[in-house]
Structure 1
């Protein structure tokens, strides 16, 4: 994140330090009484920085190794990624559908740490207005909106990855409080997510130019549309998408519904190397190596050996479509070892050619901006909702906005590949696969649409044969679509029960 955030995050450690029960990482705030802390605009800013910094760390990593969850959660189990010749246990288990409770990405601790910080901000930010005139009503409401939305985002990850989970909506402030909770039903958590996001949208100041490093009006509406898509409530997904269209982006103009505010094809990669200067970016995570260290993505670039490789079939086949401008901006298209494990999408390199030889930059010398939401994501989610709502004409229109921008021909309504709702959904999902490659979306798309076994079964059989396992594909146990709960989580909270099929 920005230098200011890193500096004030140090201050936040006074309030948000350490962790007691690891499954939540919410240490009672004894160093400084929390009620005595939020008494100025500076305190509010520091508290919010601690919340964002916690989420940033969970997605990007802690500056060491390949610990960021963004790619492991969103794509590690999908048909986009595979293990490389430098594989670790994390990706090996994901790529072969052999997840265990010892896998590091089965640990939700960092998400609950972020939830704890959001809960503290929600509880105490309003009191700052009584001590500092700079903490205006708009300041309070805008920060509360972001805290509610961040809490919702963390729970959205949790329910999509683990299903049922403990629901915490108050900060953990007293060591006498009960630190263990059983799991709440997934449906209850989804309802809480909707409630939080609705509060956030009502609080956020409208028609403000978006600051893409923060959750903003358009992002909140996009998140609500996304959640309703998961709930199969397509009319509400459509309604909330309309609210995205009337929100302002970073160029101080409405995102709109006509495709004109999509980033042009010629500068498409700016979405990942300079997102604040695009028409399309909505919310991105900023990682500056000067202050945060290495953004050591598991499928990075530079002179690094990555544990994750691009799936070999996708690596070979996508580049055959020479009209698709996204190929040269997304990955190292050269064949063989040392190339399959390189994604260049998030790296600012001249000519999109990986520098090699003496003096070539290491992966940890690049700033990285991970995309959470952008307008193309909203458009293709909208196409999916419209398709399932019986509006193929407009569904095709939003699909074609993305295809044409990518250099592909627009599909005609008479094309047999989109002749039914199911076929149209498959085409939309395929377009999402290419457009959002390495953006942490693919696994969630497969889960949401019920395509995990259909897509992954043949791919897993190939991988399992190649790596010496029994070629049984995904298998018949669909419980394994969920991740296991990490063994440390179970150890520290005896009220939890492991997900089926992982005992």
Structure 2
């Protein structure tokens, strides 16, 4: 594993999003190529696209395992340290933060040098430059948001490496400093006024950072930081927008409508998703991925649904079966949305990445190109619902009513009955309804652990509700069948264990780094 110093050396992007089959050419340590770059708009675009490429490269190694396995709703057939909550500073790729620092390094290069490229390229307009800067600020913010949710404290590096004299061996910044920088970056992107509502093509509109993606990330960051009023403000900039280009909640109550979110993808509901495509516009082969096989074969390294979650999907599907006389086109995200082999089976799969053009037929290998969704409108709705309840600790009837309505919109899209809570049900009951809907709707999308951890961090000033135990530890204990309830509780009662260790090799390269106390 390379140390962080090597990783954050400015990268030369030997690819674009229209020819991404080449691997990113990371310059070796001490080879600082600034004299060869930033001559034109294309140099800026190459570095920017490298950031998207590196983010996409993290899906299987980081985004899915870190966002899912500890929660246990999705598990590996052969458990690893994440499933077992037995994480160590030597625990494989997932304790290595360098892929996120690659994204950050690409963004830093654009932020620092786009102006230089414009001065060298008379055809590169200020409007284009500012639009690129908005994307770079988004990518840097997203990279650090993944880091802060997983490691809490981490080096905060905001400049590209353009000189051997730069100090790279730095200690960690506190979570609060990193969150403040993330919000500053996103506000800068918004204030530039150049973030696009739409691009020329659908895949760019959904696969590059639009103003909607910036609002979505800011909503997520505000929720993590418990800035609930701010979160509602940014959520509403999406949900209440009158722009014809704003993403929209797909409310049609049928499986076929719901499943277009994933196949072919880039749906009206999508805000930001990492792009793959098996066929180029000219008919030539393009980019596929391993997500279909990762979630549906008998290899010991692949994923399946926990038995508890599979049973819950069956229960939902049975409810719909009764209402619609077995019409499987009405199942939405229940049994056929995730895929359970048959009624009452304890074996379930994440069908989002494998499903073909019909409800029960898988993709063929030439179409192993599902996108990976980072944000969609349903997530924004449930984050807003959570913020509405939390800002007054469940004591505001109007807010509770609005929150339950958002939950029910998502349930109605799946043809499920409304949630069995009312505005007077109390904080715990309403929060449980929101959390359950989050789990069921976003299975396998790399969010479950972060959603549970976010809620587990909340504090009730009155001391009535123990968010850590009731919503975080209890849910992980319910779904994580690998680690076991007693171990889960003993581990997660230590807040330091909620975050990953610094990989041993990073500390070997940089003695200014401090290990998470839980792993010392």
User: Aligned equivalents of 2:426 and 2:57: distance in 1?
Assistant: 42
Cα 1:419–1:201, aligned 2, differ >3 Å: closer, same or farther? same
User: Aligned equivalents of 1:303 and 1:431: distance in 2?
Assistant: 29
SS for the counterpart of 1:372 is strand
1:432 maps to which residue? 438
SS for the counterpart of 1:148 is helix
Does structure 2 retain, via aligned residues, the 8 Å contact 1:142–1:205? Answer: yes
The answer to whether 1:215 aligns with 2:209 is yes
The answer to whether 1:270 aligns with 2:265 is no
Instruction: Quote how far apart the aligned CAs of 1:454 are.
Output: 2.3
Instruction: Quote how far apart the aligned CAs of 1:306 are.
Output: 3.9
User: Aligned equivalents of 1:412 and 1:117: distance in 2?
Assistant: 47
User: Aligned equivalents of 2:187 and 2:314: distance in 1?
Assistant: 42
Q: For this pair of structures, how many residues does the alignment match?
A: 458
1:404 maps to which residue? 412
Please, which of 465, 474, 479 is the counterpart of residue 454 of structure 1? 474
User: Aligned equivalents of 2:191 and 2:35: distance in 1?
Assistant: 26
1:65 maps to which residue? none
Please, which of 96, 103, 114 is the counterpart of residue 114 of structure 1? 103
Cα 1:455–1:209, aligned 2, differ >3 Å: closer, same or farther? same
* Runs of 4+ displaced beyond 6 Å: none
1:384 maps to which residue? 386
The answer to whether 1:463 aligns with 2:485 is no
The answer to whether 1:254 aligns with 2:246 is yes
Cα 1:304–1:263, aligned 2, differ >3 Å: closer, same or farther? farther
Please, which of 68, 78, 83 is the counterpart of residue 75 of structure 1? 68
Does structure 2 retain, via aligned residues, the 8 Å contact 1:458–1:473? Answer: no
User: Aligned equivalents of 1:310 and 1:412: distance in 2?
Assistant: 25
Does structure 1 retain, via aligned residues, the 8 Å contact 2:85–2:483? Answer: no
Q: How does 1:301-320 map to 2 (within 5 A)?
A: 301=296, 306-320=301-315
Instruction: Quote how far apart the aligned CAs of 1:130 are.
Output: 2.1
The answer to whether 1:7 aligns with 2:1 is no
Instruction: Give ranges in structure 1 of 5+ residues lacking alignment.
Output: 20-26, 61-67
1:109-157 per-residue CA deviation (whole Å, 9 max, x = no partner) reads 1101111111001111122222323321121111101101110101111
Moved more, 174-183 or 282-291: 282-291
User: Aligned equivalents of 1:422 and 1:471: distance in 2?
Assistant: 23
User: Aligned equivalents of 1:28 and 1:125: distance in 2?
Assistant: 22
1:23-49 per-residue CA deviation (whole Å, 9 max, x = no partner) reads xxxx4453x3x2542222222221211
Instruction: Give ranges in structure 2 of 5+ residues lacking alignment.
Output: 1-14, 200-204, 279-284, 321-330, 457-470
User: Aligned equivalents of 1:153 and 1:42: distance in 2?
Assistant: 23
User: Aligned equivalents of 1:267 and 1:201: distance in 2?
Assistant: 32
User: Aligned equivalents of 1:440 and 1:452: distance in 2?
Assistant: 17
Cα 1:44–1:339, aligned 2, differ >3 Å: closer, same or farther? farther
Please, which of 498, 509, 512 is the counterpart of residue 481 of structure 1? 498
Cα 1:339–1:131, aligned 2, differ >3 Å: closer, same or farther? farther
The answer to whether 1:496 aligns with 2:513 is yes
Instruction: Quote how far apart the aligned CAs of 1:422 are.
Output: 2.4
User: Aligned equivalents of 1:474 and 1:412: distance in 2?
Assistant: 28
Does structure 1 retain, via aligned residues, the 8 Å contact 2:291–2:353? Answer: no
Instruction: Quote how far apart the aligned CAs of 1:479 are.
Output: 1.9
The answer to whether 1:332 aligns with 2:339 is yes
Does structure 2 retain, via aligned residues, the 8 Å contact 1:298–1:308? Answer: no
Q: How does 1:24-63 map to 2 (within 5 A)?
A: 27-30=29-32, 32=33, 34-60=34-60
Does structure 1 retain, via aligned residues, the 8 Å contact 2:259–2:332? Answer: no
Moved more, 312-321 or 344-353: 344-353
2:11 maps to which residue? none
Name the TM-score, length of structure 1 as normaliser: 0.83
Cα 1:497–1:361, aligned 2, differ >3 Å: closer, same or farther? same
2:459 maps to which residue? none
Does structure 2 retain, via aligned residues, the 8 Å contact 1:302–1:361? Answer: no
1:367-399 per-residue CA deviation (whole Å, 9 max, x = no partner) reads 020000011111110111111233112112211
